[in-house]
């Protein structure tokens, strides 16, 4: 009986060791990175708020549900109080997480599509393609990205989609330059030259040899672009260029600016939500940069 238990324990220990051995090395370093771990936990909290908004607050967050200017914790039914129109601030925070994250994700996806594809093509083929991309990125970078997005949203009707497209269109040039620089370093490497000697197509070389090796700076930049998109959307909404039919953190901040001196909480609470989300993304980006940088590996 004792031998059987010892054998079972040994098998269990061997199985646990095998699981640990199969765990990717980068994942282990990520879990031991304080900044990445803190940022990941905070980001999961924000994602949980967005996912549970419809369940916890099934009504329209823009509906008037109580008397205006209720202070936080003054009413058990509205923990964070109400704004100047009697709308529940807590419901706005949860539903606003959906709108702000949606705008950030769509704009970042568009910027990734334009920036990564443009940087790959320009860096790999060079010549006229490279010169054309550099002229286009220089044109975009001569105009401040926020002012460019502000002009686009001011011309078209401000909706969640148009705001996301405006932010995405103005955010891709810096990423394209970053990807181009990485491709230029990898294009003449031994791995790429071996693939060329074996007769691999350009598409295979770009997708199988170059893009995976340039993924680290792209991944780190993506987290920072999401944070920047949230700040840009909040700034546009603060100036009155947000979607009036959607509850977003920026709209809440903009709506409360007129009563900031007397009822500070209407603006401060959504500002705290923005700060936490942006902080989480920046910490996660810093953690990914430390974990995935081969120079920091021991």
Domain that includes residue 218, residue range: 25-296
Query: Which range among 52-56, 202-206, 235-239, 293-297 shows the weakest confidence by mean pLDDT?
Result: 293-297
In a domain, 215, yes or no: yes
In a domain, 211, yes or no: yes
* Rounded Cα gap, residues 216 and 205, in angstroms: 18
For the chain, what percent of residues have pLDDT higher than 70?
87
Question: So what's the pLDDT on residue 286?
Answer: 84
In a domain, 17, yes or no: no
Check whether 139 has a pLDDT greater than 60. Answer: yes
In a domain, 6, yes or no: no
Alpha helices in the chain (DSSP H): 2-22, 25-31, 34-56, 89-125, 127-141, 145-155, 160-187, 190-197, 202-204, 215-238, 249-256, 265-292
In a domain, 20, yes or no: no
188 phi/psi in degrees, rounded to 5: -100, 20
Give residue 188's pLDDT band: very low, low, confident or very high (50, 70, 90): confident
Q: Please, what is the average pLDDT of the chain?
A: 83
In a domain, 102, yes or no: yes
Domains: count for the chain: 1
- The helix/strand/coil state of 201 is coil
In a domain, 4, yes or no: no
pLDDT digits (tens, 9 = 90+) for 12-61: 444 433 333 344 665 667 677 788 889 889 999 999 999 999 899 998 89
Average of pLDDT values for 266-276? 93
Question: So what's the pLDDT on residue 212?
Answer: 85
pLDDT digits (tens, 9 = 90+) for 190-207: 888 888 888 888 888 888
CATH number, domain with residue 246: 1.10.3720.10
In a domain, 7, yes or no: no
């Amino acid at each position: 009986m004792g031998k059987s238990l010892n054998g079972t324990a040994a098998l269990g220990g061997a199985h646990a060791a095998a699981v640990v051995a199969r765990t990717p090395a980068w994942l282990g370093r990520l879990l031991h990175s304080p900044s990445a771990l803190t940022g990941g936990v905070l980001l999961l909290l924000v994602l949980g708020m967005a996912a549970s908004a419809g369940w916890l607050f099934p009504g329209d967050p823009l509906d008037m549900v109580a008397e205006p200017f209720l202070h936080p914790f003054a009413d058990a039914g509205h923990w964070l109080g109400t704004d100047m129109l009697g709308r529940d601030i807590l419901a706005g925070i949860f539903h606003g997480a959906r709108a702000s994250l949606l705008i950030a994700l769509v704009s970042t996806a568009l910027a990734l599509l334009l920036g990564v594809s443009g940087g790959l093509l320009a860096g790999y083929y060079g010549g006229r393609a490279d010169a054309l991309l550099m002229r286009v990125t220089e044109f975009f970078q001569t105009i401040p990205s926020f002012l460019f997005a502000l002009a686009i949203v001011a011309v078209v009707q401000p909706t969640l989609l148009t705001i996301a497209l405006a932010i995405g269109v103005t955010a891709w040039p810096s990423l394209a330059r970053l990807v181009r620089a990485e491709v230029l370093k990898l294009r003449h490497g031994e791995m790429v030259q071996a693939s060329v000697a074996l007769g691999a197509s350009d598409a295979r070389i770009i997708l199988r040899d170059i893009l995976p090796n340039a993924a680290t700076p792209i991944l780190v930049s993506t987290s920072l672009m999401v944070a920047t998109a949230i700040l840009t959307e909040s700034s546009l909404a603060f100036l009155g260029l947000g979607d009036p039919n959607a509850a977003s953190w920026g709209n809440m901040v903009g709506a409360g600016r007129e009563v900031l001196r007397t009822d500070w909480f209407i603006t401060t609470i959504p500002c705290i939500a923005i700060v936490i989300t942006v902080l989480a993304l920046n910490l996660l980006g810093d953690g990914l940069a430390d974990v995935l940088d081969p120079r920091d590996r021991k």
